């Protein structure tokens, strides 16, 4: 397929774009001007980067991409581009702009005859008080971010009805792995312990559903390639683990259990105790993840070590 990918320079999108190339698809990435393009080619996409065509544009400026979509003849689109800075993404006003831009992108693709559209939502669209969250769990977004994602899902579902375009909405839960943003749990703990410092964490009582980003990317590509999967699809492991277990596993692998400062960080007020997925829909379609928590964290730690080694080499040259 000729596939348009947004967010291909990102944590999830770079894994998705690489996999699409490996699966023999023709990948066209919408990328903003600037250093992201270099990252796309070199750091994140590796050898597959050379096979990714670039469309220069900004989601927030439809004039920069509309003509490319009209003329592009895309069979499919994976739309992952969004603002995801851990510092403020839950409340940032740009969520509203991205909702508008994404709906405009979806409408344009439908009008242009794109047959398959896959977009990314979040577990926080759900009312998380319901226990295991299935695709039919009632909505209950608590933040501007998740409200905008939920709205985009609703808009897209209406837009594609009575058209030949099939649409799937992948709801991602908690991902970790190479290239995750530094401020998040797994890289923060791994970086601190690799640097010989203390890892300052909460007591880690919350249950979460963690998945290695490579598995999440494989699941998104799997959804793209299975037209029968329409509507919302949870992308997660289906296995609840305490945050404490994640930290303990990392510390165990690095032989640094004595350097975890439990309770040094306060849990966020109103942080839900249990956010885990029912993954029956994804599993019934034949998808199987490659990593369990231990192997996924080992892979992530190995990547972080390699990054540190190459950064050290760069300073010595």
Ligand X SMILES: NC(=O)c1ccc[n+]([C@@H]2O[C@H](COP(=O)([O-])OP(=O)(O)OC[C@H]3O[C@@H](n4cnc5c(N)ncnc54)[C@H](OP(=O)(O)O)[C@@H]3O)[C@@H](O)[C@H]2O)c1
Residues binding ligand X (CB under 6 A):
6-7, 9-13, 30, 32, 36, 58-60, 80-84, 120, 122, 172, 174-175
CB of 83 to ligand X, least distance (A): 5
CB of 165 to ligand X, least distance (A): 19
What interhelical angle do 185-194 and 243-253 show, nearest 10?
Answer: 30
Q: Which is nearer to ligand X, 7 or 72 (CB)?
A: 7
CB of 32 to ligand X, least distance (A): 4
Q: Which is nearer to ligand X, 180 or 204 (CB)?
A: 180
CB of 34 to ligand X, least distance (A): 7
CB of 317 to ligand X, least distance (A): 26
CB of 186 to ligand X, least distance (A): 10
CA angle centred on 196, ends 190 and 202, rounded to 5°: 50
Query: Which residue has the closest beta carbon to ligand X?
Result: 10
Q: Which is nearer to ligand X, 133 or 175 (CB)?
A: 175
Q: Which is nearer to ligand X, 45 or 250 (CB)?
A: 45
CB of 283 to ligand X, least distance (A): 19
Q: Which is nearer to ligand X, 232 or 256 (CB)?
A: 232
Q: Which is nearer to ligand X, 9 or 151 (CB)?
A: 9
Task: Spell out a b/e string for 231-257, using b for 16 or more CB atoms within 10 Å of the CB, else e.
Answer: ebbbbbbbebbebbebbebbbebbebe
CB of 258 to ligand X, least distance (A): 29
Q: Which is nearer to ligand X, 62 or 198 (CB)?
A: 62
Q: Which is nearer to ligand X, 186 or 256 (CB)?
A: 186
Nearest to 33 by CA among 8, 63, 56: 56
């Amino acid at each position: 397929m000729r596939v348009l990918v947004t967010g291909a320079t990102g944590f999830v999108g770079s894994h998705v774009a690489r996999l699409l190339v490996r699966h023999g698809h023709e990948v066209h990435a919408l990328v903003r001007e600037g250093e992201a393009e270099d990252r796309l080619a070199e750091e994140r996409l590796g050898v597959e980067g050379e096979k990714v065509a670039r469309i220069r544009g900004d989601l927030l400026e439809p004039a920069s991409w509309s003509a490319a979509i009209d003329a592009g003849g895309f069979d499919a689109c994976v739309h992952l581009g969004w603002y995801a800075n851990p510092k403020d993404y839950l409340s940032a006003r740009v969520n509203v702009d991205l909702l508008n831009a994404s709906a405009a992108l979806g409408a344009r693709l439908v009008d242009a005859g794109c047959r398959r559209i896959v977009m990314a939502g979040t577990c926080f669209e759900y009312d998380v008080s319901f226990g295991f969250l299935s695709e039919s769990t009632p909505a209950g977004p608590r933040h501007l971010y998740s409200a905008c994602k939920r709205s985009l899902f609703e808009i897209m579902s209406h837009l594609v009805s009575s058209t030949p375009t099939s649409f799937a909405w992948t709801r991602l839960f908690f991902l970790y792995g190479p290239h995750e943003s530094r401020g998040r749990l797994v890289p923060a703990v791994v970086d601190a312990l690799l640097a010989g410092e203390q890892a300052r964490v909460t007591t880690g009582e919350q249950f979460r559903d963690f998945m290695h980003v490579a598995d999440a990317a494989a699941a998104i590509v799997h959804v793209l390639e299975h037209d029968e999967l329409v509507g919302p699809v949870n992308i997660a492991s289906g296995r609840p683990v305490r945050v404490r277990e994640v930290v303990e596993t990392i510390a165990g692998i690095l032989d640094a259990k004595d350097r975890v400062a439990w309770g040094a960080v306060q849990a966020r007020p109103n942080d839900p105790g249990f956010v885990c997925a029912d993954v029956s829909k994804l599993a019934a379609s034949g998808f199987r993840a490659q990593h369990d928590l231990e192997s996924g964290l080992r892979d992530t730690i190995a990547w972080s070590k390699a990054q540190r080694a190459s950064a050290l080499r760069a300073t010595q040259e």
